[in-house]
């Protein structure tokens, strides 16, 4: 009897041990399976990280990824390239850089992730992808440009930024994103964050997209004009990047034209205008109706006639004036031109002013470095480059307006 009990107990113990061993094997198998999945995921992640956009194995030594380097201790002046992987033009520029055996002498580039490096975006005033910022060895901004497409254009940007003189028009680049505004009519300029509440007169905002064929044709037609018809001012707005303006004016598609008044209020909107003549008709038809509405008297015409005050007309006389750099003080009534070397429309205006010797205003134009004169910007409430401020001999603000490349436009400051 005792032998039978002992045998039964031994059999039970054997079964228990066998079952436990099976569970250990299953657990081990499960762990191995989980480990294999993790390894596969790691491999997939590594493969993703090794995409052409992130791969610098064939890139020139002077082109590298920004990985938190101390920008206050650079070994030389460096271009920060704010790039985005989902940006097609960024990818093309990235590929062009990596295809070079070496970068031109004096060019060193760090590619910055536009999506993740938000602090750098803020520090250097970068508001859109495909932006290039040249900094000195201490990380201070020297110049900024958007849309450079090739290594050659980047090299020109660096060389021009280091030069004290503005390059000749023949050396300027002309890409879909950053066109050579020196060849544009005086009243057609790129929107570069101008204050739309301080315009000189009614203006057309042209919501343009570089990849849009009809936009390009209209853009070319405008640029082909020796000058735009009287009364036309156009700011070309980037439809892809200026989302706040799209929202403000209810723009839902590219190739849209919005006519606004001097305070930035919408007057009319139209889509698909093809030529400069079409734009002129659009302005004329809407400003004529607006003028008619304003001129229609609400009171008896006789009463209006009795109370009307005639404004005397003062004839303007042509006066010699000087265009020179701001030297830290204001001695006479002047127009302060807040300009930036990285602003294409500022460069165009600068060229126009240098070619002028006479204007119907009795004031000098002082070119103020927008980046270097923050105190002056704050004093006159200047929030964007390409701003003109008329001041008296004591430096008191008289009038302010934004934009335009023609010196004749400055007469609006004296009306």
Give the model confidence (pLDDT) of 20-67 as tens digits. Answer: 555 545 544 445 544 554 454 444 344 334 456 677 676 677 888 998
Which CATH entry fits the domain spanning 63-166: 3.20.20.140, 3.40.30.10, 1.10.10.10, 3.30.200.20?
A: 3.40.30.10
Which of 17-31, 155-169, 290-304, 382-396 tops mean pLDDT? 382-396
73 confidence band (pLDDT: 50, 70, 90): confident
Query: What average pLDDT does range 93-100 have in this prediction?
Result: 90
Q: Which of helix, strand or coil describes residue 351?
A: helix
Q: How many CA atoms lie within 13 A of 231 on its CB side?
A: 13
The stretch 273-292 carries a mean pLDDT of 75
Give Cβ neighbours of residue 401 (< 8 Å, ≥ 6 apart): 198, 199, 200, 387, 388, 412, 413
CATH topology of domain 319-414: Glutaredoxin (3.40.30)
Among the ranges 12-16, 100-104, 175-179, which has the highest mean pLDDT value? Answer: 100-104
Residue 256 in 3-state DSSP?
strand
Is the pLDDT assigned to residue 19 strictly greater than 50?
Answer: yes
pTM of the model: 0.36
pLDDT over threshold 80, residue 17: no
pLDDT at 190: 79
Asked if domains 181-307 and 319-414 share a fold, the reply is yes
Distance (Å, whole) CA 192 – CA 198: 14
Q: What is the mean pLDDT of the chain?
A: 73
Most confident stretch, 149-153, 209-213, 256-260, 404-408? 256-260
Task: Give the C-alpha separation, 223 to 227, whole Å.
Answer: 9
CATH match of 181-307 with 3.40.30.10: yes
Helix (H, G, I), strand (E, B) or coil at 216: helix
Name the residue ranges covered by the structural domains of the chain: 63-166, 181-307, 319-414
Give the pLDDT of residue 368: 92
Phi then psi for 60, rounded to 5 degrees?
Answer: -60, 150
Question: In whole angstroms, how far apart are CA 300 and each of 272, 297, 304, 308, 405?
Answer: 42, 7, 6, 12, 44
Highest mean pLDDT among 57-61, 179-183, 238-242, 346-350 belongs to 238-242
Strand order in the sheet with 78-83: 63-65, 109-113, 78-83, 131-135, 141-146
């Amino acid at each position: 009897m005792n032998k039978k009990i002992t045998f039964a107990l031994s059999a039970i113990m054997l079964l228990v041990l066998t079952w436990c061993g099976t569970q250990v094997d299953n657990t081990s198998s499960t762990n191995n399976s989980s480990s294999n999945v993790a390894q596969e995921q790691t491999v997939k992640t590594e493969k993703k990280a090794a995409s052409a956009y992130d791969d610098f194995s064939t890139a020139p030594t002077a082109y590298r990824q920004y990985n938190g380097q101390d920008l206050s201790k650079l070994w030389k002046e460096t271009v920060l390239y704010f790039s985005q992987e989902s940006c097609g033009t960024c990818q093309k520029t990235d590929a062009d850089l990596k295809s070079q055996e070496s970068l031109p002498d004096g060019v060193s580039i760090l590619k910055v992730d536009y999506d993740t490096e938000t602090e750098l975006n803020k520090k250097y005033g970068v508001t859109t992808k495909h932006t290039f910022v040249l900094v000195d060895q201490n990380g201070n901004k020297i110049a900024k440009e958007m849309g450079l497409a090739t290594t050659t254009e980047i090299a020109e940007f660096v060389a021009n930024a280091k030069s004290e003189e503005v390059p000749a028009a023949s050396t300027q680049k002309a890409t879909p994103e950053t066109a050579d505004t020196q060849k544009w009519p005086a009243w057609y300029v790129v929107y570069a964050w101008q204050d739309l509440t301080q315009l000189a007169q009614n203006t057309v905002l042209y919501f343009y997209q570089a990849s849009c064929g009809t936009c390009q044709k209209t853009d070319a037609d405008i640029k082909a004009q020796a000058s735009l018809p009287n009364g036309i001012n156009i700011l070309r707005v980037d439809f892809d990047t200026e989302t706040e303006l799209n929202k403000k004016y209810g723009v839902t598609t590219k190739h849209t034209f919005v006519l606004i008044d001097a305070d930035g209020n919408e007057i009319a909107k139209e889509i698909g205008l093809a030529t400069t003549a079409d734009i002129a008709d659009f302005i004329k038809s809407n400003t004529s109706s607006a003028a008619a509405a304003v001129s229609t008297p609400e009171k008896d015409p006789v009463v209006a006639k009795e109370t009307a005050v005639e404004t005397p007309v003062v004839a303007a006389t042509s006066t010699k004036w000087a265009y020179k750099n701001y030297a830290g003080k204001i001695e006479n009534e002047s127009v302060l031109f807040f300009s930036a070397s990285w602003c294409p429309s500022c460069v165009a205006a600068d060229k126009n002013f240098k070619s002028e010797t006479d204007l119907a205003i009795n004031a000098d134009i002082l070119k103020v470095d927008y980046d270097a004169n923050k105190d002056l910007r704050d004093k006159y409430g200047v929030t964007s480059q390409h701003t003109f401020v008329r001041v008296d001999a004591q430096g008191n603000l008289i009038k302010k307006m934004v934009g335009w490349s023609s010196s004749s436009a400055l007469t609006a400051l004296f009306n």
